[in-house]
Amino acid sequence: MTDGYSLNGTLEGLASTLRTAGSNLGGIGAPPPTPDAGDLTGALAMMMVGFTDSAAEVVLGVSVAGDNVAAGSETYLNMEDSAQQGLPTGQ
């Protein structure tokens, strides 16, 4: 029970969600084979490579965001525990 606020568990859950999303997106893999589109085959292949590269950037960003949220949560909770140790016990 808390006295009005708590982030314990909330940030870890968010970090987990971000990391899971990064893993799921990363599992998509390589671009699909280039379709036979006649004169447009080369252009479509380049578009598919661009989409795949962009998806890889999203995967990296989401994964790093999850790591950063987890690290921030740990830092916050450590500082909160440290501050709590300095409070009078009220006895």
Q: Which residues, at least 6 apart from 16, have a Cβ–Cβ distance to it below 8 Å?
A: 66
Domain boundaries, the chain: 11-27+37-80
Please tell me the pTM assigned to this model: 0.66
List, for residues 40-77, the tens digit of each pLDDT value.
999 988 888 888 888 888 889 999 999 999 999 889 88
Mean pLDDT of 1-28: 76
Q: Phi first, then psi: give them for residue 33, nearest 5 degrees.
A: -60, 150
What is d(CA 78, CA 65) in angstroms, rounded to the nearest whole number? 20
Give the pLDDT of residue 1: 43
| pLDDT tops 80 at residue 4 | no
